[in-house]
Structure 1
Amino acid sequence: MIKIDDTVEMNGEAELADRLQKSLKGKRYLIVLYDMWKSEAWDAVILCFPNENKGSGILLTTRNTQVARYAGTENLSSQMGFMDQNESWNLFRSVAFVNEALPSYYENIGKQIADECHGLPLTIVVVAGLLKSKKAIEDWRSVTKDVKSVVTNDPDERCSRVLGLSYNHLTGELITCLLHFGIFPEDSEIPVKNLMRSWITEGFLQLENDLEGEAEKCLQELVDRCLVLVCKKSLDGTKIRSCKVHDLIYDLCVREIQRENIFIMNDIVLDKSDSERRYLIMHKMQPFKRVTGYEIDYCPHGLYGALLTPVHR
């Protein structure tokens, strides 16, 4: 284990890389690099490992074939295939019913839905999570039709459309809470306390007498629908301590924020130089829209919605 002390914090990544390399030198190790998207990321992390290799290994996962080739693993790589019918059904059933007994009348329609996911695990998990809270057979038949209409032959596009299907089945309150993940850095692990405090502060929740309980309920429902991933739990396993969203879910949140004309404002400063009027000066507005204080001043009311980041002033 590498201790993150003041020296590491001051010198940043270079100091951390140096310490990691020294700690691994002369040892056997297995490093897992999960879901790498860019070759530049490989260039950055490979410097952290010793040059000599004494029975050690690095396991790299990526959805970008070019990254695998760039890392020199082309002859050592294993292309993951799609699930067959039995694997798809077993995964679907394990998510949709967990420890519950499977009623026989759900099996046929459930297998149809699993087949329509064409063996793509993320699609299966998201659709099953959507149906987890729907026990009426009519709802399952309805989703069967929806899945058929959104699934295409392109795996990435197929997944995006199915994620959109799951998104469209959320209530207004859950949609707002899910979109809020789009203001955090991609792939970041978010402390649940900070997340729920932000939901409550922004007024996303309906109940007024038990906001914290309502926030926990919303988070659990998003987890149950497989839209939010649990990172850490309390020691007794009863409470979620930190969470994140899959990068495809994150992209969905960002697209919906853009589509709804919501923009993220960072570093908002209230300028008091004018004694009679106050102006909002936007130093950064990323990644959606840049608006000057002048434009805000003369902008008709209700034209935009503002989603503030946790770092705003």
Structure 2
Amino acid sequence: MIGRDDQRKRLEEDLTRSYSGEPKVMPIVGMGGIELADMLQKSLKGKRNLIVLDDIWKTEAWDAVRLCFRSDNKGSGILLTTRNTEVARNAGTKNLSLQMDLMGPDESWSLFKSVAFSSEELPSDLETIGKQIAEKCHGLPLTIVMVAGLLKSKRTREDWESVAKDVTSFVTNDPDERCSRVLGLSYNHLTSGLKTCLLHFGIFSEDSEIPTKKLMRSWMAEGFLKLENDLEGEAEKCLQELVDRCLVLVCKKSLDGTKIRSCKVHDLIYDLCVREIQRENIFIMNDIVLHYSYSAISPCTSLQLPNNH
């Protein structure tokens, strides 16, 4: 949460309303520490609760957030997830921490197959090379899902062998670096139109749930879609393809399950979008070069024609 008034008001309402039986998810990035701590302590006082702090990257973040929770709420607990062992140690969970193991070969293949083929029958000529690709992902679930999503629309042995070679070149001892390289591979296999649509997620707040209508209208306004087609239909098609490639996560669907109501991207994909925006500094629309201005302080865009066009 970036601290905007409407988001602050929503957070206050979530904290002060009576419990509805549904778990509450509240992004709190950027909220004032003392103010938020006071709000949380008042909301949780005298209640049993389970607080889940997902993906804490730095010890400083944990040190700031821990002040929000009282230690006298018996029967309550805090579940913290992190990729940083220093954060886990600093949280004082010496005898309560669980180191997640990497997936074994069978688990890796099962996950890979479920993403790449879903309910389709697995062609025998792709099974052997598919298992090799899954093994080269070194048990990292995100890497497996990303590579499988990339191959979901490819059904020739040549395509799979090409991807297998690329994945082999990404071998590194750093899991995050390996994931980032695989994300880059998935990004590079997108069409230029899909690349532009994916990069657009980088202008929203990190880890924010984006209403689909807002996202699609933004795509339309920026001219990212084929102008001769039905824009809404084209936008839905682009979004679904990004979802199918496991680059975009579906948050909410319509009651009948046919429409995506809101979505988001994984934080590593968000980082990829921001890096590419900063590196390229341009968008291409119908052969017209558009400059893109990115501000790390305010997540907004400014598209303008260069002076020489």
TM-score grouping bracket, smaller chain normalisation: 0.7 to 0.9
| Change in CA separation of 1:189 and 1:151 when aligned onto 2, cut-off 3 Å | same
State the alpha-carbon separation in 2 of the partners of residues 16 and 140 from structure 1.
50
Q: How do 1:33-182 and structure 2 match up within 5 A?
A: 33-182=53-202
Deviates more, 1:22-31 or 1:189-198: 22-31
Matched, 1:236 2:243: no
Matched, 1:185 2:205: yes
Shift of 1:74: 3.4
Unaligned runs of at least 5 residues, structure 1: 264-283, 289-295, 303-313
State the alpha-carbon separation in 2 of the partners of residues 61 and 246 from structure 1.
15
For the Cα contact (< 8 Å) 2:12–2:39, is it kept in 1? no
State the alpha-carbon separation in 1 of the partners of residues 188 and 197 from structure 2.
14
Matched, 1:287 2:305: no
**In the alignment, which residue of structure 2 is the partner of 1:4?**
13
Unaligned runs of at least 5 residues, structure 2: 1-9, 18-30, 284-292, 298-303
Tell me the TM-score normalised to structure 1 length: 0.78
| Change in CA separation of 1:3 and 1:255 when aligned onto 2, cut-off 3 Å | closer
| Change in CA separation of 1:180 and 1:2 when aligned onto 2, cut-off 3 Å | closer
| Change in CA separation of 1:141 and 1:41 when aligned onto 2, cut-off 3 Å | same
Superposed CA offset, 1:69-107 (max 9, x none):
222223321111211111110110111111222222221
For the residue of structure 2 that corresponds to 1:54, the secondary structure is: coil
Amino acid at match of 2:210: I
Shift of 1:117: 0.6
State the alpha-carbon separation in 1 of the partners of residues 234 and 94 from structure 2.
49
Structure (1 or 2) with the larger CA radius of gyration: 1
Superposed CA offset, 1:198-237 (max 9, x none):
0001000114230011001101111111111111111221
Amino acid at match of 1:30: L
Matched, 1:301 2:300: no
Percent pairwise identity: 77
For the residue of structure 1 that corresponds to 2:169, the secondary structure is: helix
| Change in CA separation of 1:239 and 1:25 when aligned onto 2, cut-off 3 Å | same
**In the alignment, which residue of structure 2 is the partner of 1:266?**
none
State the alpha-carbon separation in 1 of the partners of residues 225 and 294 from structure 2.
26
- In the alignment of these two chains, the number of paired residues is 271
State the alpha-carbon separation in 1 of the partners of residues 277 and 92 from structure 2.
38
For the Cα contact (< 8 Å) 1:151–1:162, is it kept in 2? no
State the alpha-carbon separation in 1 of the partners of residues 169 and 139 from structure 2.
17
For the Cα contact (< 8 Å) 1:151–1:161, is it kept in 2? no
Task: Tell me the C-alpha RMSD between the 2 structures.
Answer: 2.8
Superposed CA offset, 1:244-296 (max 9, x none):
11111111111111221349xxxxxxxxxxxxxxxxxxxx96239xxxxxxx9
**In the alignment, which residue of structure 2 is the partner of 1:226?**
246
